[in-house]
Structures are given as structure tokens and as C-alpha cells.
Chains A and B, each alone.
Chain A
Amino acid sequence: MSKVPTAGNILTIRDLSIEYTTDRGVLKAMRNVNLDIPKGSIVGVVGESGCGKSTLISSIIGLLASNASVSNGSIEFEKQDLLKLSQDDMRIIRGARLSIVFQDPMSTLNPVLSIGRQMTDIQYRDKKTTSEKRQRSIDMLTSVGIPDPESRLNQYPHEFSGGMQQRISIAMALQAEPSLLIADEPTTALDATLEVQIIHLLKELQSKMNCSILFISHHLGVIAELCDYVVVMYAGEVVEQGTTKDVFKNPTHPYTAKLLECDPASIAKKTRSLPTIPGEIPDLVSLPPGCVYKNRCDKAMEVCDSKTPSWTEFKGGHFVRCHLVEEV
């Protein structure tokens, strides 16, 4: 168990393990995951595809696939364990206290309904008149920087550019002033200049509304610029967590160090041979004993083959799951 105080957290995940039942057997998609999102902070999650980022998000918003089961752990959000809530209670929270911006704005928005219709529809909880709801939509569009919002409400998603569509999805996610916003690679579909705009927008709205953001991305530059804390995931485990400065400046898990090395942006000299992490993620159906990263780790020791490293606090608030740290 982590020793981090949970009082100031908006979301606290402890020892969360999730399994999928597949034809090949039980796939352990997430194992003993600990995650803390302090109030009013932006937490970034990085990791390769298949590391359990999507499972993590689905477990928080309660939209796990039907073949998934939670074998252990808790997700505490505003003093409630989300895993113990009924479907109906979860529906009250989802979209209101807890909301999400997905990767692809074009598939988030319904192509056959106008933006205005969609934005008023999602305010179904509020007992307001339609014109009040419409006014609220106009205010939201203004705050995400869409010019001439009143007339744009009558337009359809395809009439907006990709960057604008993503702004609209952000406006819709923040409409109910949630206390936690999950952003699942919101800038992947956008180019560099729009990416910066969206990051600044998120940061600005976050400080204005004082919500917390869980930001998923595999763009390390974006994480470094936007986030207060970083969580590094590998093969269904959180291997390192700490402040952005600690993790980027002093990466302690060998995987984090490699990941930072591999980013072409951090390679100053032009090269035709970029660094990679050789090997592959282990099969999560038949996990070998010991550390999950050992087969790709250049610092692997004997103990890594037999014993799973524990979640250790390396330095105030900087947690690592690695035998190298435990030994010290």
C-alpha cells in the first residue's frame, strides 16, 4: 500500500487489478495499480499501446467491457468507491462529476445532430428552460474560444475543423463543471500548432474551474509542458509515479529512462538510427514470474526473475516499482 495521504486527492486508486476473460485464458490487463490525483492538479499517464491505459480509463468511468472483472482494489472518487456503485448511481456521476474527452472528436460528436442540439441534450439533468440551456451552451463555446457561438450552434460537426471539433468536445465535457476530467489523447489527431492551442485551453480552463485532469498521451513533450504529475505504465502496471520534474529529470525506473531516451525530440543530433527498446511486452495471459520489464531491461538482476518488485517510495512522493530502488 502506498503511504501517500489520500485526503487531498480527488481520485485515489489502490491495488486495482482487472482481468479479461478471453478464449486463451485470463488476461491480467492491470495489476496492483496505485494512482493519486491531487485536487486541482493535472496528472499525465504515459505508456506504450497495450500497457493498460484504456483499461484504466474504462475502469474509472465504469465502462469496462463485459468480459472484464475487477479482482482486487478500489477507486475512491469524492469519498465513494466507484467500483461499489450501482449502474444507476454511476450514471449520476458520469458526465456530471466525472467526464471525458476522447481521442477522435469526429466520432465523439453525432454527425446528424446540430452542435446546439447535442449541447442542450446533455444538460438533461438541469431543470432549466431550453433557452437557458442554449445560453449555457453559448457561454461554454465562448470559453473554449469558438467565435460567433450563437450562429455556430446551428451547425453540424462536419462544418467545423478538427481543432474546433475537439474544442467543442472539451466544452461539452466541462459543461457540467466536473471535478475530474479525463482526456484520452485529445491532441493525437491534431497538428503541432493546434496541439499547443488545446493544451493551453485545457490549462486555462482547469485553473478557472479548479478541476483535476487525468491526461493520457504518448507525446512526452505535451506531458512535460502540461502536467504536474506523471504516471508511467508498462504492461498493466504503474512502474513510476512522481512530479513531472522528478520523473523527467530523474527517471528512476529503467523503462522510464529508456522511454525518454527514445523520444526523437530529445535527440539533439540528426541521426538515421533512432534508439528503440528491443523486445516486446510479455503475454499478459501467461505472465512470467518476477518483474514484468525484466526481459527488456538492461539492468536486470537475478532477483528480477523470481520476485515481483514492490511499490516503493524512492523520495518524497516519487514512487517506483523496481528492485534497483528497493535495494538502496
Chain B
Amino acid sequence: MSTVLEIENLRVRFRIQSSLMAMLNKNKDPYIDAVRQVSFKIEEGQTFTLVGESGSGKSTLAYAVAGLLPVADGSIMFNGDDVTKMNHKDLMDYRKQVSMMWQNPVGSLSPRMSVGGLITEAYKIHGLKDRDRKMEASRLLEMVGLPKHFSERYPHQLSGGQARRVGVARALALSPKLIIADEPTAGLDVSIQGEILNLLNKLQDDLGVSMFVITHNLNVVRHISDRTAIMYLGRFAEQGSTDDIFANPRHPYTLALLSANPEPDPEVIIKDRIELKGEVPSLMNRPSGCEFHTRCPFAAKDCDTVFPPIETVGEAHHLTCHYPRELKGLGSSDGVFHDEYADQIN
């Protein structure tokens, strides 16, 4: 298995004050770090999932990986080339191999273009004149399970699930090596969500494409992904194989996320749920020490002053915490947070 994408120590910053204002306010650092110290790998044919709250920097990371945002620090290696150092021509080439499924399925489709035009627009943009766009449109629609005549339709004539499928077809147009899917099932009902996830899984099996999926639905993560990272304030709190993260979560934030997941069973009362107090701190003034200590139920000595280094526990399982939990079997592979382990937490 070869590595498709390798990201090391990535940092993405946004300017929050103009240079004049910063000078007047004597602000030496008029930036916020939306993504900080992020490293991960995506292997060929595998799915990497990123979980985190809104505002934790998930989409920023995806945009940076797609080459749509300037990177302040770190590297994004794709097939041995550093994306952050690419010129325009190389980036165009890179974007042929990495495609994006946007968060808002209808909003990302131009209302004035037909579905056929939309899904084959990439050929036009990349100057691939030898392709018969009409034929390609029917081929792509067939791949995502939509009838051929849909290429004549316009986005407003599509349902949410159909618009997602068009998004998938468009992402597949150039036979990419990597698809970045930003919240591919947000706002869909369970049945249609299942259809889209099955479609993505099937395409991955057939085409061997790698996927980078962003979501905040933990139930989805468990079924589709090989590796999972949990993001908090622009950093990875924990990352590891999905089975490992669900069966043996170590970071208190991961624990809280897993235990917060409501069960579709009225008789299950999750008594010892780890409920996080307070709100996500602002990126403009990050907490000192471990950035999670303001909400962490287990915060102790040093947490508010010393920044925890990235540690490796087990096989490719990384986390940043001074006092990682030693809770074997806490989450168990079925993703259910069992009461009997609650004593271990308290």
C-alpha cells in the first residue's frame, strides 16, 4: 500500500487585522491559526475521517489540502511533490487528481448550468478537448446511479439526495486519486444517507480512490472510515485507526464525543455521560497549556500551563494529553458507551 497524501506539521493562518491597524494597535501577531501542528497520512484506497465541532478548522484543513488556501507552515506531499510549493500549472495538474465534494450540495451547483454541463465542466477547465462531454455525462451519471436523462435537468429540479449524487459524479469526472468530501451526508435522512455512503463505499472498492471525509456524525464514521482524527481548536486531539479510536479512546475530548452520541433506544439512559461544560474557546485567545483544559473534566496539575506533546500510543495512534485515559474496552466496537466503565472514569 502506498501513501497518497502525507501532511506534516501543517499550519494555516488567517489575518484578522490589516497591517495598518496592527501597527497602530502595536499588535505584533495579527493572525489566528485555524489549523496548527497537523500531521497525517492517507493511504491508497483508504478513507480518512476528520471529526470535530463546527469552527474547529475541519473545512479550513480540507481547503488547504485541496490547494485552495495558502499554507503558513508545513508540507503537503502528494506523490512526492510538495503542494505548498507548486506553481499555478502544477496546481492545475494536482487538482486533476484531487477533487472536492462540497458541503452544500445544491449551493455548489451553478443554477444556470444543466447537470450534464456541471459534471463535465472539469474537462473544459482542464482543456481535455478529446472527450465527448455528452458521453462522459451519461457514463458518470450511470456510475452514481442516476438515469441518463438527468443530464438535461437543472439543479433546482433535484432533491437533496440527487444533488449529492451529482456532486459525487462531478468529483469523479477526472478519475481522481483522492476525493475530499466535506460533510457528504449533512442534512440527509437516514435512508438517503445510507444510499450515499453505500455509493461512496462502492466507488472506493471499484476505483480504489482514497477519501478524506469530514463529518460530525460519529455513527457514520464507524461504518465508512479506516482512520479517524478528532480535531479541536485546529489541532488533532487524537488520531488512530477507526476501530482503535472507538474501542479504546484515550483523549478526554474523544471520550466526551463518543459518550455524547445519543442512542436510538428510549430505554438506554446514559447515566455517566461525560458532559462538557462551557463553550469552545475563541481562536483569538487560545487557552494556555493544553488547549482543552478549560472544558476537560479530568484537568489536573500542569494542564493549564504545560502544552502536552504529541505522543504515540499503540500502533499509529497519536494523541496530545498529559493524562490519557487507560480505559480498555470503554467504547467497545459497537460504538456504545457502556455504564459499567463509568466507575473507571470517576
Contact = CB atoms under 8 A, between A and B. Distances in A.
Interface in A292-312: none
B223 A225 contact: no
Nearest to A255: B191
Given A259-B190, A262-B191, A267 B260 contact: no
B194 interface: yes
23 contacts: A50-B159, A163-B279, A192-B218, A193-B260, A193-B276, A196-B260, A197-B276, A221-B219, A223-B264, A224-B263, A224-B264, A225-B262, A225-B263, A245-B266, A245-B267, A263-B264, A264-B197, A265-B264, A266-B265, A269-B334, A272-B205, A272-B224, A273-B198
Interface string A161-201: 11110000000000000000000000011111111110110
Interface string A227-267: 00000000000000000110011000000001110111111
Nearest to B282: A161
A62 to B, nearest CB: 26
A162 B223 contact: no
Interface stretch (B6-14, B28-36, B52-60, B316-324): B52-60
Given A191-B54, A249-B266, 18 more contacts: A48-B191, A49-B187, A49-B189, A190-B54, A191-B257, A193-B276, A196-B262, A249-B267, A259-B191, A262-B191, A262-B194, A264-B219, A264-B222, A265-B261, A267-B223, A270-B223, A272-B205, A276-B192
Contacts of B266: 224-225, 244-245, 248-249
Nearest to B334: A268
A122 to B, nearest CB: 24
Interface centre among A161, A193, A276 (most CB of B within 10 A): A193
Contact of A264 (B201, B216, B223, B333): B223
A193 B53 contact: yes
Given A193-B260, A248-B265, A272-B224, A162 B219 contact: no
Contacts of B263: 221, 224-225, 265
A219 interface: yes
B160 interface: yes
A268 B218 CA distance: 13
A222 interface: yes
B273 interface: yes
Interface centre among A189, A262, A264 (most CB of B within 10 A): A264
Interface in B188-208: 188-195, 197-198, 201, 205
Nearest to A223: B264
A165 to B, nearest CB: 11
The SS class assigned to the B binding surface is: loop
B335 A188 contact: no
B243 interface: yes
- Interface extent on B, as a size class? 35 or more
Contacts of B53: 190-191, 193-194
Contacts of B191: 48, 258-259, 262, 276-277
Contacts of B198: 272-274, 276
A164 B261 CA distance: 20
A240 to B, nearest CB: 15
B256 interface: yes
Given A191-B216, A225-B262, A274-B197, A262 B190 contact: yes
B220 interface: yes
B275 interface: yes
Interface in B322-339: 333-336
Interface string A135-178: 00000000000010000000000000111100000000000000
Contacts of A218: 189-190
Nearest to A265: B219
A324 interface: no
Contacts of A245: 266-267
Contacts of A196: 260, 262, 273, 275
B342 interface: no
